[in-house]
Amino acid sequence: MNDYCLKVINKLKANSDEPEFIQAVSEVLSSVEKVLDRHPEYEAMSILERLIEPERVVMFKVPWKDDQAKVQVNRGYRIQFNGALGPYKGGLRFSPTVNLSVLKFLAFEQTFKNALTGLPIGGAKGGADFDPKDKSPEEIQRFCVSFMTELYRHIGINTDVPAGDMGVSSKEIGYLYGQYRRIKGTFEAGVLTGKDVNYGGSFARKEATGYGLIYLCKAVAAAHNLDLKGKTAIISGSGNVALYTFEKARQLGLKVVAISDSQGYLVADDLDLDMIKDIKENRKASLKEYLKKYPLARYENGSIYDGEIKAEVVLPCAKENEIDKKRAERLLENGAILIAEGANMPNDEEAVSLYKEKGVLFLPGKAANAGGVATSALEMTQNSMRLQWSFKEVEDRLEGIMNNIHAQLLATIKYYDLPAYDYCEAANITAFEKVVKAMIAQGDY
């Protein structure tokens, strides 16, 4: 590793107790050695030190009343990481797993993901350690109102545009936007994305991350003379990203043989996507319900990556660090030839190193799941123009953005003489160069 990178990473480790953030920083900085070797002046400019420090961290209390009229207090956050390329852009996550390390990692990754889209958006992330799963609709609404009562002063259409993320659907976005509108007294639809299509939302937003993931897989497969039609695939997760990855994968001819939820995973030769959607989107139930109609299917408790499932395409769409080296080895033993991240950092550092060592096609989340934020930026464009594109228009633009991401990565692979399969290093270098050049051009001191 470049001496400058190593010095910055070691200093971060010595002065930070934020494991997820340190992991994300280490993964990016360890990939940009070739850039730093060509630009020794970056060290004198303290580029890396400036890059890994958020421009702003906002933390605030969120008091709200539960259904028993008892006041509860959660902690809210907004991490405005880097605005060199445009207004801060990134989701809000409501989950008990939310903390400063997780959100800094997500905001750092978001900065580079947004850069790859080619759209004028900076990187941010936010949320709260609030768990909506066991709350009534009234409790969720009261929480959202309280959350926005503080957040509103930190966001704006040219400042910071949040979206949804884990635990924040269009329903929560509606509550948040309603409170923003009441406080501000104006209809600024572009201040939040992921809205319902009835008041400024974009068609295809729910599908965008999953669809974009498959579009990038399709482009990579074509570049490597790999026919995906008839290949078997497994998908972890059963939220929007996983379900619409499944939908677009099936349209492409992939055969999805396993999918998971928070308790276990479902395995069958021919999974019924419509029933799985009904179980997860309408009934909010366990995938075990699938067995009532299809008793020959199999549901196992635990991680899908601990099962001995033969699959050539692996699409992790659940959470960070669910695949370690041992699980990665099992995936390769079971025939994996293409691994594409629908979630943020679902493979740990050792797993990613193994893929590189074995020359496996691996598509990192900052490139592979960029379709969601790309479509959020398209929603911002529609709001600015006061119009709404059709589903087909948005989908066509999304596919064009994902194809452009692939073209950028191929150009980086060629320019830096990287191995043809190393999309991970190519994604990090491409995004890093865009952000750093913008910082330097603006005299970002």
Residue 277 within a domain: yes
Residues 159 and 223 occupy one common structural domain: no
77 membership: H or E segment, kind and range: strand 71-82
Residue 196 within a domain: no
Distance CA 147, CA 440 (A): 35
Residues 237 and 297 occupy one common structural domain: yes
Residue after which a domain boundary falls, among 348, 363, 378: 363
Residues 158 and 222 occupy one common structural domain: no
What is the model's pTM?
0.95
Q: Tokens standing for 157?
A: 């259409």
Residues 111 and 226 occupy one common structural domain: no
Residues 141 and 34 occupy one common structural domain: yes
State the greatest distance between any 2 C-alpha atoms of the chain, in Å, as a whole number: 65
Residue 278 within a domain: yes
Pairing of strands 88-94, 122-128: parallel
In this structure, what DSSP letter does residue 323 have? B
125 is catalytic: yes
Specify the pLDDT at position 148: 98
Do 190 and 157 form a contact (C-beta atoms < 8 A)? yes
Residue 385 within a domain: no
Indicate which CATH number applies to the domain containing 141.
3.40.50.10860
Residues 129 and 88 occupy one common structural domain: yes
Phi, psi of 371, rounded to the nearest 5 degrees: -60, -30
Catalytic residue among 125, 206, 218, 248: 125
Residues 243 and 336 occupy one common structural domain: yes
Residue 160 within a domain: yes
The radius of gyration of the chain from alpha carbons, rounded to an integer in Å, stands at 21
Residue 412 within a domain: no
In this structure, what DSSP letter does residue 159 have? T
Distance CA 107, CA 127 (A): 11
Specify the pLDDT at position 1: 81
Q: Tokens standing for 291?
A: 């067995």
Residue 304 within a domain: yes
SS3 category, 23: helix
Residues 114 and 262 occupy one common structural domain: no
Secondary structure (H, E, C), 205-272: HHHHHHHHHHHHHHHHHHHCCCCCCCCEEEEECCCHHHHHHHHHHHHHCCEEEEEECCCEEEECCCCC
Q: What is the pLDDT along the chain (445 residues), one digit of tens a residue?
A: 889 999 999 999 999 899 999 999 999 999 999 999 999 999 999 999 999 999 999 999 999 999 999 999 999 999 999 999 999 999 999 999 999 999 999 999 999 999 999 999 999 999 999 999 999 999 999 999 999 999 999 999 999 999 999 999 999 999 999 999 999 999 999 999 999 999 999 999 999 999 999 999 999 999 999 999 999 999 999 999 999 999 999 999 999 999 999 999 999 998 999 999 999 999 999 999 999 999 999 999 999 999 999 999 999 999 999 999 999 999 999 999 999 999 999 999 999 999 999 999 999 999 999 999 999 999 999 999 999 999 999 999 999 999 999 999 999 999 999 999 999 999 999 999 999 999 999 996 6
Specify the pLDDT at position 445: 64
Sign of torsion over alpha carbons 340, 344, 350, 352: positive
Residues 84 and 139 occupy one common structural domain: yes
Residue after which a domain boundary falls, among 303, 335, 363: 363
403 membership: H or E segment, kind and range: helix 391-415
Angle in degrees, 0-180, between the axes of helices 371-385 and 391-415, rounded to the nearest 10: 130
Residues 162 and 222 occupy one common structural domain: no
Do 318 and 344 form a contact (C-beta atoms < 8 A)? no
Residues 300 and 266 occupy one common structural domain: yes
Residue after which a domain boundary falls, among 155, 187, 219: 187
Q: Give the range of the structural domain holding residue 94, as residue numbers without chain letter.
A: 3-187
Residue 401 within a domain: no
The model's pLDDT over 37-83, given as tens digits with 9 standing for 90+, comes to 999 999 999 999 999 999 999 999 999 999 999 999 999 999 999 99
Residues in the chain: 445
User: How many independent structural domains does the chain possess?
Assistant: 2
Residues 239 and 271 occupy one common structural domain: yes
Indicate which CATH number applies to the domain containing 212.
3.40.50.720
Angle at 415 between CA 414 and CA 418, to 5 degrees: 55
The model's pLDDT over 289-331, given as tens digits with 9 standing for 90+, comes to 999 999 999 999 999 999 999 999 999 999 999 999 999 999 9
Do 187 and 373 form a contact (C-beta atoms < 8 A)? no
